[in-house]
Structure 1
């Protein structure tokens, strides 16, 4: 009996080694008879804010027709970015105690809206999440691939593997997306910022969508980096 149990355990471990497992967040992997843009629009519960950004940047046709891979940020991701910009603008300047950043920019609103940020900034940010050609997870190098986005930004994909039943790298795999940004605290240093893909391989008529973790902040940038281009 013990021998049978051991054989069964080994078989399960081998099976786990052969499969790719990716966590889900309410989106089902599959093939959709919709363009990338129309697929995003069909899921307002997850991508409504992203569609608004695409519309405002005037890039509807691009995400309908071009063969691309989109690392798609969640609604909450874009909301977090706008909140960060708002908080930054309303923080006192270090050199002038009590004076807010927005005062130095002649910015008078109490709430930062999408249209308060230049369209070209939104376009650049969108393209930093967009890769040329539709690529499923299996088409990325394992474990690491250096990639240049369509905005010209250096990024990388990483496939991470967890342990299963005490066996290292035999369990679930997750695709992570890494950005590189100048440090907000140390001049001359570059920080590595990583976000998980929670649902992968959503196939549209013109590419692939990988849905990112909702805890990720869109753009991964300070308020000044965004607002200064206004």
Structure 2
């Protein structure tokens, strides 16, 4: 029998057969499912993308309240999109036991004796418009279009400064993460840092991008991560990511308007 096997099945052939059997067996496993590469292209404009995704129901309403629906439908823009969770945490609840909703805008209004917000339309359209503009940039820019930033070595890799849709200033850059102690060979992480005071470029709030390069028909969407104060890889992701507008300016404007 051994001689027959050796005659008709040489060692290399036997190895090939075994390998084919293993591969075939893997394909039959119910848990094995190769989803392939994610498709970044969305068949519709940015407004339609926001309306189609449950994470952006509230953001889509704010776009309409701000009177910017036409911008999101027809203009060529890049949108660093905060999720609905950012709005939920920004507005917050009064005397809530939920830690992440403590200290929101409604608590501030309540403590100051002003009416709290019941609906999004309780905020003046001009205020929504002002702070929504901080997330919008004219033109289409994907991750590959932004320069490298190293927050520990900014003199060499500073990212670059960009004007928002309404001419505020932010620094945008790509963090090149390390792998096994080797710098800059790991995955790329897009970040945006809003400058509170353009005269002091070292005073900024940094937010990491959770999903980049989503491509509707009229631009690019980068989805921002929720901030817990902990970095994502080597990219800072500060707690200001939870505040609409990146800092307390939104609180102040709403407070003084009521």
The alignment partner of 1:90 has SS state of helix
Residues 46-57 of structure 1: matches in 2 within 5 Å? 46-57=55-66
Return the alpha-carbon distance in structure 1 between the equivalents of residues 189 and 50 of structure 2.
22
Aligned to 2:90: 81
Q: Distance in 2 between matches of 1:30 and 1:189?
A: 33
Instruction: Identify which of 138, 146, 170 aligns with 1:155.
Output: 170
Aligned residue for 2:128?
Answer: 122
Partner residue, 1:168 = 183
CA deviations over 1:130-168 (Å, ceiling 9, x no partner): 001011111112230101101221111021122112211
**What is the root-mean-square deviation in Å for CA atoms of aligned residues?**
2.1
8 Å Cα contact 2:171-2:195 kept in structure 1: no
Deviation (angstroms), 1:221: 3.1
C-alpha distance in structure 2 between counterparts of 1:147 and 1:189, whole Å: 12
| Aligned residue number for residue 197 of structure 1 | 209
Larger radius of gyration: 2
Q: Supply the distance in 2 between the matched residues of 1:159 and 1:219 (Cα, whole angstroms).
A: 21
Gaps in structure 2 of 5+ consecutive residues:
1-37, 93-103, 150-158, 228-240
Q: Deviations over 1:195-219 (max 9, x none)?
A: 0011000011100000001332221
Q: Please give the secondary structure, in 1, of the residue aligned with 2:67.
A: coil
CA distance in 2, matches of 1:167, 1:190: 27
| SS at 1:204 equivalent | coil
- How far residue 192 of structure 1 moved from its aligned partner, in angstroms, is 1.4
Q: Which residue of 2 aligns with 1:225?
A: 253
Q: Aligned residue pairs: how many? A: 183
Counterpart in the other structure of 1:213: 225
**2:137 match: secondary structure:** strand
Separation in structure 2 between the aligned mates of residue 133 and residue 120 of structure 1, nearest angstrom:
23
Q: After the TM superposition, which of the residue ranges 141-150 and 70-79 deviates more from structure 2?
A: 141-150
The corresponding residue for 1:179 is 194
**Matched residue SS, 1:37:** helix
* 3-state SS in 1 of match to 2:253: helix
Which consecutive segments of 4 or more residues in structure 1 shift more than 3 A?
188-191
The equivalent of 1:135 in structure 2 is 141
User: Would you say 1:32 and 2:60 are equivalent positions?
Assistant: no
State how far apart, in whole Å, the 2-side matches of 1:195 and 1:113 are: 27
After superposition, the Cα gap between the structure-2 partners of 1:90 and 1:191, relative to the gap in structure 1 and judged at 3 Å, is farther
Asked if the contact 2:42–2:214 (Cα under 8 Å) also holds between the matched residues in 1, the reply is yes
Offset of residue 190 of structure 1: 7.5
Higher strand share: 1
Report deviation, 1:170: 1.0
Change (3 A) 1:189 1:154: closer
Using the alignment, how far apart are the partners of 2:187 and 2:201 within structure 1?
33
